[in-house]
Amino acid sequence: MDEFIREDGRSPTTFRNMKMKVGILNNADGSAYIECGGNKILVGVYGPRELHSKKHSKPDGAVLRCKYNMAPFSVVERKRPGNDRRSTEISKLISEAITPCVFLEKYPRSSIDISIEVLEAEGGTRCLGIVGASLALADAEIPMRDLISACAVGKVDDTIVLDLSEKEDQTGNADIPVAIMPRTGEITFLQMDGNLTQDEFNEALNLAYAGCEFINQMQREALLNKYRGEL
């Protein structure tokens, strides 16, 4: 049987072209930059630093705060600057996806702040935000159980596919962004839009595991490249 070829020429199990780099912002404690297809995403991490507000600090560990923001020029139609429901939801879910892997208990009464700036968006920004946040935390040398990886899988023209573009996200039958701790295989985040049979869902989840394995390799390479460059 001929393999399904997607509109942008990819096979069902191929990512868009991807680049990852860490340590690019001088004034952040850790940073990462990711390009994937038409996405360009910059992440900065500040902390851990003492949180003076008694109301917001926790005596038994750091508070992880995440802010996802889309620049006005990140999409074709100018996006109104500032928070909206979508960015509030994505900030919360990225923070929840990352929290299980960080040793927050090492930093009582502190905060770790993650800023995710989407400079250009083309589908998949929440997953790339998780990947970038994880990289920037590692770059900030914040101790973690694992380097969280994430990717979206879905169904387009009755085929299970990896890494949906914006167009596939809009016209496809299903979209499932997933974040995984590769060492244990634990899923820390999963959303599902659309309908799949149980068999299709299982196939999609297996593809997400394989996709996250690939992303994890790229994350490790990006971190190693920083130290290779410094030698």
Q: How far is the CB of 8 from ligand ADP (least distance, A)?
A: 14
Cβ closest to ligand ADP, residue 68 vs residue 107 = 68
Cβ closest to ligand ADP, residue 93 vs residue 160 = 93
Q: How far is the CB of 119 from ligand ADP (least distance, A)?
A: 12
Piece in contact with ligand ADP (CB under 6 A), picked from 22-30, 55-63, 75-83, 201-209: 75-83
Q: Does the protein bind ligand ADP through residue 165 (CB under 6 A)?
A: no
Q: Does the protein bind ligand ADP through residue 16 (CB under 6 A)?
A: no
**What gap in Å lies between CA 121 and CA 125, rounded to an integer?**
7
Q: Does the protein bind ligand ADP through residue 121 (CB under 6 A)?
A: yes
Closest CA to 156 of 37, 40, 1, 8: 8
Contact between 70 and 87 under an 8 Å Cβ cutoff? The reply is: yes
**What gap in Å lies between CA 155 and CA 47, rounded to an integer?**
39
Q: How far is the CB of 81 from ligand ADP (least distance, A)?
A: 11
Piece in contact with ligand ADP (CB under 6 A), picked from 24-32, 74-82, 139-147, 217-225: 74-82
Among 91, 125, 188, 219, binds ligand ADP (CB under 6 A): 125
Piece in contact with ligand ADP (CB under 6 A), picked from 9-17, 71-79, 99-107, 219-227: 71-79
Sequence-separated (6 or more) residues with CB below 8 Å from residue 156: 6, 164, 168, 171, 172, 173
Cβ closest to ligand ADP, residue 78 vs residue 106 = 78
* Contacts with ligand ADP, residue ranges (CB under 6 A): 75, 77, 79, 86, 121-126, 166, 169
